[in-house]
Chain A
């Protein structure tokens, strides 16, 4: 390991790999650090298709998709370590950060002009979604169950209840069924399924798996291992309605209840956090509030599609390139992206008119026949529907951004 890099990438999932590839192509010297024993991140445990439709214009499995990216990464001969962990990123000066890295070969301290943080997300577990009851064997997050099955070859259980009907929950329901398990039910808190209609049909309906909408798993019971779950109807405010409890016998509970950006390392470096995305606040170069620390992928905002993740990785690399070239990003006039009607979250938070910017956003409520409006710059896009589970991706051109003074509002309005 040399002692100074233009950019150190933390995380070897799709966001980190894409960032490292782009940075290298731009001529920067790059080091990538991955905690686990292999590169690839989450797609390494995804044997189902649905990856790369936009990026490669082909429907690939997670492993096929990531294989292609890793090939490219290897071709470029980028320096990387697996089984290596970044303990700390300490801002040392405006232009330098010191990283403390522990690897099997020893402890290293390296200086980096920029850092791209792409450590992905963690899954929400039973304690933070208010499930009470016994702490017994047979409770897994979807990602853990998937890793067990598809990386280590272990079957978690045979009679399964899945919490959450996002794409992850739906895909896991099908995966368990194909391995001979009985999926007793998928339980969804909201009055509508969280995942794509295509996945509801292909993963549940085709296999006769019941979907309980407006229901919550409130309690897990069992002596040594899960024996049953208690499922309760919820009202419009998502509170359990007493007296509606129902028990479902099962030996396994799989939680697919959403992801949260995993910021452990850079939180300590002092980056500002958006309480809604739970990821960092960033500008249109995907730079955080600590100069030279960029962020991409699920560590930035929870993405539906790996294609967006890769795009963010590349964007962060371009930001790092600008930073290295100019010794920091220039002082710019930043317009704040303001969340208007039915916009629950949106990144980046600050936009400048130096380049085109891709905005990733989610709505709060499903709606049909709407327009997405940016009133200050006079931009409008018609959309047949919006859903909280489907990320909105729009590009704003630099000329458009230049039209706004100090803020750009994004809102969803009904089409009259």
Chain B
């Protein structure tokens, strides 16, 4: 008999769990997501840092501290297997004033306790060698060489794609509205697309994990949104930073980061602003938030690229549990229900470790499900970018299929072939609505200098052609976000939609 598992939420956490579970025999895994695609929640908009693991006190948050260090290690391998762009420049926690060195020393102690490799204090001289663009008046820094940066928007889709390749069923545009519990055991989830039977239900619903948990009768916590706002500069705008740079945390602020993203653009942010519980959708930027980020970043580095080279501002929401404690638990009542809730930062870092923990400690340990590795499991995802290929390979591809020779996104050099490949992979993964954002997550189109004003219409046109929807109906991120309102004469005909 197969064990049926329903995972609610295809963020980086839910998708990591799906991937880990796809390694085992005898499981029927369903990954349920209410958005049109994976990774469109918290996991889409964050700093994208793979933290080294010295920011959590193992006495206060033992699980978080442990899973972060482990997650960091796992991502080395996972990013390669899944072809998620990542790099490992290391991180500097900068002590701007002499007295901040004490704070850095405290984090050094945590690094030792958590077993983070390579962490040490550096003086001003070495700091400036490691990061020539840092504020030259800084007193010193804590250097953590294992820190990395990854393309976080790409993570959940890559994980999901790989999970599906290994037998997981992905259910996009499927909203969980209830959890069926009988005789103290979970039986499955009610969704807008019908009932999905399950012996185990895993709640990885991000900002909404409190609501899902309450559906299973566990309602002792609420998740509050904490906003973080950012700027991204153009990829060819400098000065840049080589390392991940941030400031020693103070009681009032954790400070902002200055990093050079995977796409080579400098990114600065985030703020940390607590919002009321109802504001779980409010990913708007604000003038105050952005000004704060600007001022903080200016203290941290010698030079920022000019404001005229900002190509994007955005905000993300952290799912904050009470006391900052991650709620990763399996319950006796209802039996079979697992919360993976309140996964605030460093949840991206820890996701692979969280997934193993859920499989081994909770599913195998607590719920006593036998986990046997499949003899054949494919760890790889076959994604490629035309521009990243060697020239001979590019030439071959164009010869095979001319669409690889048509550059659609000029700022990022993304070809029609890349876009068609992404669409094909979306269809294979089970995405129902091919959206502009879905193509953006997978290829990087519209993320460059022009932010889509040259190419968005051409991409929409390719989607229309490949899916048979009219061009105006191609959506940016699902229902209500259609690209246009109809053909050009729709208003003159006086039709009401």
Name A residues whose Cβ lies closer than 8 Å to a Cβ of B.
35, 83-85, 87, 102-107, 122-123, 125, 127-128, 130, 132-137, 140-141, 143-144, 147-149, 151-158, 179-181, 218-219, 221, 223-225, 240, 251, 262, 264, 267-268
B129 at the interface (CB under 8 A from A): no
Q: Report the stretch among B177-185, B270-278, B348-356, B484-492 that lies at the interface.
A: B484-492
Name B residues whose Cβ lies closer than 8 Å to a Cβ of A.
236, 281, 283-287, 290, 307-314, 391, 394-395, 398-399, 402-403, 405-407, 410-411, 413, 415, 449-454, 456-457, 461, 471-472, 475-492, 494
A148 engages B484 (CB within 8 Å): yes
B405 engages A264 (CB within 8 Å): no
A133-B480 CB under 8 A given contacts A104-B398, A107-B391: no
User: B144 → chain A, closest Cβ, in Å?
Assistant: 31
Q: Which residues of A contact B487 (CB under 8 A)?
A: 153-155
B482 engages A155 (CB within 8 Å): no
Q: Which residues of A contact B290 (CB under 8 A)?
A: 132
Q: Which residues of B contact A133 (CB under 8 A)?
A: 284-285
In the complex, given contacts A127-B311, A157-B485, A225-B480, what are 4 additional A-B residue pairs having Cβ atoms less than 8 angstroms apart? A102-B394, A148-B457, A179-B488, A264-B410
Smallest CB-CB separation from B406: which chain A residue? A83
A128 engages B405 (CB within 8 Å): no
A180 engages B484 (CB within 8 Å): no
User: A139 → chain B, closest Cβ, in Å?
Assistant: 10
Q: Which residues of B contact A87 (CB under 8 A)?
A: 407, 413
Q: Which residues of B contact A103 (CB under 8 A)?
A: 398, 405
A224 to B492, CA, bound (A): 25
User: B178 → chain A, closest Cβ, in Å?
Assistant: 24
A134 to B407, CA, bound (A): 30
Question: Per a CB cutoff under 8 Å, which of B402, B450, B482 touches A104?
Answer: B402
Q: Which residues of B contact A181 (CB under 8 A)?
A: 491
A157 engages B395 (CB within 8 Å): no
A85 to B394, CA, bound (A): 14
B484 engages A156 (CB within 8 Å): yes
A154 to B457, CA, bound (A): 10
A50 to B472, CA, bound (A): 29
Q: Which residues of B contact A136 (CB under 8 A)?
A: 481
Q: Which residues of B contact A125 (CB under 8 A)?
A: 311, 450-451, 453
Q: Which residues of B contact A218 (CB under 8 A)?
A: 287
Question: Per a CB cutoff under 8 Å, which of A102, A148, A268 touches B407?
Answer: A102
User: B30 → chain A, closest Cβ, in Å?
Assistant: 27
Smallest CB-CB separation from B470: which chain A residue? A154
B314 engages A135 (CB within 8 Å): yes
Q: Which residues of B contact A105 (CB under 8 A)?
A: 398, 402, 405
A155-B285 CB under 8 A given contacts A107-B398, A132-B290, A224-B479: no
A107 engages B310 (CB within 8 Å): no
B485 engages A153 (CB within 8 Å): no
A223 to B479, CA, bound (A): 11
Q: Which residues of A contact B452 (CB under 8 A)?
A: 144
A133 to B411, CA, bound (A): 25
User: B196 → chain A, closest Cβ, in Å?
Assistant: 26
A137 engages B482 (CB within 8 Å): yes
A262 to B308, CA, bound (A): 14
Q: Which residues of B contact A123 (CB under 8 A)?
A: 450, 453
A152 engages B394 (CB within 8 Å): no
A65 to B490, CA, bound (A): 28
Q: Which residues of B contact A268 (CB under 8 A)?
A: 236
Question: Per a CB cutoff under 8 Å, which of A102, A106, A156, A224 touches B480?
Answer: A224
A134-B284 CB under 8 A given contacts A123-B450, A141-B453, A155-B491: yes
A155 engages B485 (CB within 8 Å): yes
Q: Which residues of B contact A84 (CB under 8 A)?
A: 405
A267-B491 CB under 8 A given contacts A85-B410, A104-B405, A132-B285: no
B410 engages A144 (CB within 8 Å): no
Question: Per a CB cutoff under 8 Å, which of B286, B311, B477, B491 touches A180?
Answer: B491
A87 to B386, CA, bound (A): 12
A179-B491 CB under 8 A given contacts A221-B284, A267-B236: yes
A260 to B407, CA, bound (A): 21
> What are 22 pairs between A and B in contact, CB < 8 Å?
A85-B407, A85-B410, A87-B413, A106-B395, A107-B395, A122-B449, A127-B311, A132-B287, A136-B481, A137-B476, A144-B452, A148-B483, A153-B487, A154-B471, A154-B472, A156-B484, A158-B491, A179-B491, A179-B492, A180-B491, A180-B494, A219-B284
Instruction: Report the 6 A-B pairs with minimum CB-CB distance, sorted nearest first.
Output: A180-B491, A224-B480, A85-B407, A137-B481, A104-B402, A154-B484
Q: Which residues of B contact A128 (CB under 8 A)?
A: 307-311
User: A153 → chain B, closest Cβ, in Å?
Assistant: 5
A225 to B461, CA, bound (A): 20
B453 engages A135 (CB within 8 Å): no
Question: Per a CB cutoff under 8 Å, which of A137, A143, A179, A264 touches B453?
Answer: A143
A137 to B460, CA, bound (A): 13
A127 engages B313 (CB within 8 Å): yes
Q: Which residues of B contact A219 (CB under 8 A)?
A: 284, 287
Q: Which residues of B contact A144 (CB under 8 A)?
A: 452-453, 456-457
B490 engages A155 (CB within 8 Å): yes
A152 engages B457 (CB within 8 Å): yes
B312 engages A127 (CB within 8 Å): yes
A286 to B402, CA, bound (A): 35
A221 to B284, CA, bound (A): 8
A6 to B402, CA, bound (A): 28
A172 to B443, CA, bound (A): 31
Q: Which residues of A contact B413 (CB under 8 A)?
A: 85, 87
Q: Which residues of A contact B485 (CB under 8 A)?
A: 155-158, 251
Smallest CB-CB separation from B232: which chain A residue? A127
A135-B283 CB under 8 A given contacts A122-B453, A144-B453, A148-B457: yes
User: A201 → chain B, closest Cβ, in Å?
Assistant: 24
Smallest CB-CB separation from B490: which chain A residue? A155
A410 to B348, CA, bound (A): 57
B236 engages A127 (CB within 8 Å): no
User: A364 → chain B, closest Cβ, in Å?
Assistant: 17
Smallest CB-CB separation from A240: which chain B residue? B287
B395 engages A152 (CB within 8 Å): no
A122 engages B483 (CB within 8 Å): no
Q: Which residues of B contact A155 (CB under 8 A)?
A: 472, 484-491
A106-B405 CB under 8 A given contacts A144-B453, A147-B457: yes
A224 to B40, CA, bound (A): 14
A107 to B480, CA, bound (A): 41
Q: Which of A102, A136, A144, A151 has the most CB of B within 10 A?
A: A102
B481 engages A224 (CB within 8 Å): yes
A137 to B405, CA, bound (A): 30
B449 engages A127 (CB within 8 Å): no
A85 to B484, CA, bound (A): 28
Q: Which residues of B contact A137 (CB under 8 A)?
A: 475-477, 480-483
User: B315 → chain A, closest Cβ, in Å?
Assistant: 9
Smallest CB-CB separation from B484: which chain A residue? A154
A144 to B450, CA, bound (A): 11
A262 to B448, CA, bound (A): 12
User: A382 → chain B, closest Cβ, in Å?
Assistant: 35
A152 engages B314 (CB within 8 Å): no
Smallest CB-CB separation from A126: which chain B residue? B451
B284 engages A106 (CB within 8 Å): no
Q: Which of A84, A104, A251 has the most CB of B within 10 A?
A: A104
A132 engages B313 (CB within 8 Å): yes
A224 to B475, CA, bound (A): 11
